[in-house]
Structure 1
Amino acid sequence: MKQQTLLSLPLLLGAAFARPVALEGIIMKREVPQEHSHNQFLATVNTNLKTNNPAGIIDAVFGLLGNAAAAAGQGTITDTDCLQQATADQAFTNAKAASDIPGMTAALIYRALERNTGKVGLASNSCTTITAVNPEIAAISQHQDPASTGAAAINKAIVLELAKQIASVGGNPQDALKSGTFAPGSLSDNTGKGNTCDTADDVVGCIFSQNLLVEDATAAEISAAVAGVAPAATAAPAASSTPATAGSCSVAAPVASSAAPASSAAPVSSAAPVSSAASASPAATAGAASTSTLDFGTCTDPAIVFGPGFDGRTEESFEPANLSQFNHGSADNIKVITGFIISQLQSSCKASAAAISAAEAAATTANALTGQAAANAWNSALGVSA
């Protein structure tokens, strides 16, 4: 994607953003940006963002701009590379609190959209300093310029993961294809034009109305990717009563609805969670042998397993050992699973403050590792084994 040049930062900062998108178009000197190409999702995210916006993000459009321009609208977000994620995360939290599945879906798609960069073929930076509150958002990264190195494979992987997360909140996973970007531009194009569009008043988005979207996967590939993802009940988001709760929408309803019996059933039937996990994935059959002195509340088994075969995957991935208590699909990155488990310990399990603190410390260690070593670090820190 191509970046716009900020003409007057003081003017932008001092402006009254009654219509931030329109005003931005006046102040910015543009090459060939495309932050309005997917306007239908941008508008929905903006609506949800502004229902509760503690970071003071000026407008969702800033998350799709290049860093020089984006910094003017990032509010108290400290890393501009993380503005798109932070915007999506807050919008998702707000939509989840309102049981708004289309809103959550839009936030997920927005997180996957390509950001402006300085020239054709230049990839945008990843967010590495801030972890999303919602594991569904944390699982996704932004599309990269289609002319950048490895973009086809990178963007396809993003879309397939996006489809899983959309399915997990009860949305239509095929909508993940709408996050796609444009055909690759020429690396020898010194004008920075590329293949883009940027029509601010196109309600749907010019990439759709001008038929410029290049889909990254097929409908069949999307269906195959989400085959192991259980759709969430539409009531799932309602289980989160405050924006601070970051549990997965795919499991909030089942966990919340079973919270009462779990407190009485857990002591007498540890076999039930094992059986449930075994039916869902081959590597989760053992459950966890807990020697922990930590109080996990109504939950007993926060262990993480690592291996092949989860959700029909051929590659190795992470997932909770006990899918009855922590019902979340597998993920390539352990931080998606650690973040979800911590969220559930806080919200549904009602774990002690000491247990949550220990889990947060364990996540810091595990998230810096890969493979079995990451799972081992988490389990060892919490006194469980899978």
Structure 2
Amino acid sequence: MKCHHTAILAALAGLTAAEVPQEHSHEKYLIAVNELLQLNNPFNIADSVFGFLGAAAAADGAGDVTNTDCLQQITADSAFTGAKTAGDIDGMANALIFRALERNSLSVGERSALCNETAENPEIAAISQHQDPASEGAAEENKAITLALAQQLALIGADPQLALESGTFPPGEIGDPTAAGFTCNDATDPVGCIFTENLLVPDATPEEIDAAVAEVLAEGDAAGIADGGVNEALVPICEAIGAGAGAGADAGVVAPPANGTAAADPAASEAVATPAEEEEAAAGDEAATATDNNIQTFTGTLGGAAPAIVSSAANADRPFSVGDVTFTTDNAALSRSCAVQNNACFNAANAGQLAEGTAACSAQEDDCLAAARLRKVRRNARAVTRGADGRMRFARAARLVRRQNDFGSCADPSIQFAEGLDGRAEASFGPAGDFDHGSANNVDIITSFICGQLGSRCGAGEATVAACEDGAAAASGLEGEQAAQAFNSALGL
């Protein structure tokens, strides 16, 4: 697929005099999507730029797309599919951001038409394009789009703070006869003039991005899969943070219960059982519910029972599961189960629903881990040593990573907890090595990104990715510097 400059110039020449184009303002994302269209372009779209033009101009480069109001979405959808097939997280992120960019309109304050079709990829379907900042309600709508984009970026393992780059210009003046507003349009700027000329107005704060991402991770919403299946692109990310990669988070979709048993299908059988058969079946069901290969033996219930951990031989590579999330080791699954219960307990205590308070939650987590013969990092002194740099180190994990010596093309996946990251006044988490990600208050956001990138971008070995997942699970149950140390120690750093 090549860029048809003649067709593009002809289309741009046909714009009305009142329209001031801005389709090249975020040029780096147009370039990235054009590269992805070379991998997957079923509609023969001439160039990504046509997705930002008005209907008449867009038709000249729409290829086989007949609904030009959906050209931007279809372009992003095709690009996302190509990136997902290639395991390219950065490419998927570029396609998502492309989908959220503002389209041209004929006058200041005029809204662009929304697509009335559903994208094939639920990640693309979850977001829409920015609207003219001078249009009615644009500030609230564009902020909602940016936050939804951030959630999707986080769920694929990309930096959710990149969502801020989808923002648009300051609002222009309604009735401006030039229709220019405060825009720019420079096709020769490979980055995008909205960035180089510092014209972008952020729709949200980094803290609001963090809050939106934390919300979707807590809900276990893995990009809204609506077909009951599993989004394979999300598996390495979601299992590091405890979010589902399947349909269980979607409203209206029946998810497996917490004990890992399948939901009943009322159409599965029409046979009528005899009383004796019913009694025998009930006894069998009770036994299955009681055990079901559940290796979580802890019985504490503050904030709710610890999620069941199902051991199954059906998946030899990842035989342990908590809900619909699988793990390579029982320790990682047990740690996750205890951490999930602890988070629920803290939420209940902070909401005033537990008279015992958060101290009881911490004590319960100790008991949960003790039942599994595990310990929190801060209390398992025998398993932890301190290096010359003062960092806690897990001897087993360190030996594993040194033996494998495999971070792939990446050198340092460590994280830090420090003040001043990205200009924040409070301490936050962020990569300490060669991973590019904005800071976050929630350690899960950083560790999930790094574990996902280790497997996809860096090409790290399976053992290293598994160690990363173990570290992410351990860090999730801790706070501050202890969380960072737990994650780093699991990787031998």
TM > 0.5 between the two?
Answer: yes
Deviation of 1:49 after TM superposition, in Å, equals: 1.1
1:55 aligns with 2:43: yes
1:91 aligns with 2:79: yes
Pair 48,110 (structure 1): closer, same or farther in 2 beyond 3 Å: same
Aligned to 1:78: 66
- Which protein is bigger by CA-based radius of gyration? 2
1:126 aligns with 2:114: yes
Name the amino acid aligned to 2:164. L
1:290 aligns with 2:274: no
1:215 aligns with 2:186: no
Deviation of 1:191 after TM superposition, in Å, equals: 1.6
Name the amino acid aligned to 1:23. L
Pair 253,60 (structure 1): closer, same or farther in 2 beyond 3 Å: same
Q: Is residue 121–residue 145 contact of structure 1 (8 Å, CA) maintained in 2?
A: yes
Aligned to 2:234: 250
Alignment of 1:108-127 (within 5 A): 108-127=96-115
Pair 20,253 (structure 1): closer, same or farther in 2 beyond 3 Å: farther
Alignment of 1:252-291 (within 5 A): 273-275=256-258, 288-291=263-266
Between the aligned partners of 1:181 and 1:49, the Cα distance in structure 2 is 24
Between the aligned partners of 1:119 and 1:136, the Cα distance in structure 2 is 30
Deviation of 1:250 after TM superposition, in Å, equals: 2.3
Between the aligned partners of 1:34 and 1:228, the Cα distance in structure 2 is 34
SS at structure 2 position matched to 1:224: helix
Pair 168,17 (structure 1): closer, same or farther in 2 beyond 3 Å: closer
Deviation of 1:293 after TM superposition, in Å, equals: 3.6
Between the aligned partners of 1:86 and 1:181, the Cα distance in structure 2 is 21
Once the two structures are superposed, residues 338-386 of structure 1 have per-residue CA deviations (whole angstroms, 9 ceiling, x without a partner) of xxxxxxxxxxxxxxxxxxxxxxxxxxxxxxxxxxxxxxxxxxxxxxxxx
Q: Is residue 120–residue 186 contact of structure 1 (8 Å, CA) maintained in 2?
A: yes
Alignment of 1:136-175 (within 5 A): 136-175=123-162
Alignment of 1:289-308 (within 5 A): 289-293=264-268
SS at structure 1 position matched to 2:257: helix
Name the amino acid aligned to 2:233. C
Q: Is residue 4–residue 47 contact of structure 2 (8 Å, CA) maintained in 1?
A: no
Between the aligned partners of 1:124 and 1:159, the Cα distance in structure 2 is 17
- Residue among 67, 72, 75 paired with 2:55: 67
Deviation of 1:290 after TM superposition, in Å, equals: 2.5
Deviation of 1:254 after TM superposition, in Å, equals: 6.8
Q: Is residue 147–residue 187 contact of structure 1 (8 Å, CA) maintained in 2?
A: yes
Between the aligned partners of 1:26 and 1:83, the Cα distance in structure 2 is 16
SS at structure 1 position matched to 2:214: coil
Name the amino acid aligned to 1:123. R
Pair 226,254 (structure 1): closer, same or farther in 2 beyond 3 Å: closer
Pair 159,35 (structure 1): closer, same or farther in 2 beyond 3 Å: same
Pair 17,105 (structure 1): closer, same or farther in 2 beyond 3 Å: closer
Once the two structures are superposed, residues 236-284 of structure 1 have per-residue CA deviations (whole angstroms, 9 ceiling, x without a partner) of 9xxxxxxxx99473248879xxxxxxxxxxxxxxxx942279xxxxxxx
Aligned to 2:33: 45
Aligned to 1:195: 182
Once the two structures are superposed, residues 305-344 of structure 1 have per-residue CA deviations (whole angstroms, 9 ceiling, x without a partner) of xxxxxxxxxxxxxxxxx994499xxxxxxxxxxxxxxxxx
Alignment of 1:99-110 (within 5 A): 99-110=87-98
Deviation of 1:192 after TM superposition, in Å, equals: 0.9
Task: Give ranges in structure 1 of 5+ residues lacking alignment.
Answer: 1-15, 237-244, 256-271, 278-285, 295-321, 328-386
Q: Is residue 20–residue 59 contact of structure 1 (8 Å, CA) maintained in 2?
A: no
Between the aligned partners of 1:24 and 1:202, the Cα distance in structure 2 is 21
SS at structure 2 position matched to 1:275: coil
Aligned to 1:177: 164
Q: TM-score, normalised by structure 2?
A: 0.46
Moved more, 47-56 or 78-87: 47-56
Pair 90,26 (structure 1): closer, same or farther in 2 beyond 3 Å: closer
Between the aligned partners of 1:185 and 1:82, the Cα distance in structure 2 is 26
RMSD, aligned α-carbons: 3.2
Aligned to 1:3: none
Alignment of 1:367-386 (within 5 A): none
Between the aligned partners of 1:254 and 1:204, the Cα distance in structure 2 is 31
Q: Percent identity?
A: 54
Task: Give ranges in structure 2 of 5+ residues lacking alignment.
Answer: 223-228, 240-254, 270-320, 327-493
Between the aligned partners of 1:254 and 1:112, the Cα distance in structure 2 is 23
Between the aligned partners of 2:259 and 2:174, the Cα distance in structure 1 is 51
Name the amino acid aligned to 2:45. I
Between the aligned partners of 2:102 and 2:232, the Cα distance in structure 1 is 24
Name the amino acid aligned to 1:219. P
Name the amino acid aligned to 1:216. D
Aligned length: 248
Moved more, 23-32 or 53-62: 23-32
Between the aligned partners of 1:189 and 1:135, the Cα distance in structure 2 is 38
Aligned to 2:21: 33
Deviation of 1:37 after TM superposition, in Å, equals: 0.4
Name the amino acid aligned to 2:31. A
Aligned to 1:303: none
Between the aligned partners of 1:247 and 1:85, the Cα distance in structure 2 is 20
Pair 173,28 (structure 1): closer, same or farther in 2 beyond 3 Å: same
Between the aligned partners of 1:224 and 1:193, the Cα distance in structure 2 is 35
Name the amino acid aligned to 2:266. T
Deviation of 1:156 after TM superposition, in Å, equals: 0.3
Between the aligned partners of 1:56 and 1:22, the Cα distance in structure 2 is 15
Name the amino acid aligned to 2:265. S
Name the amino acid aligned to 2:123. E
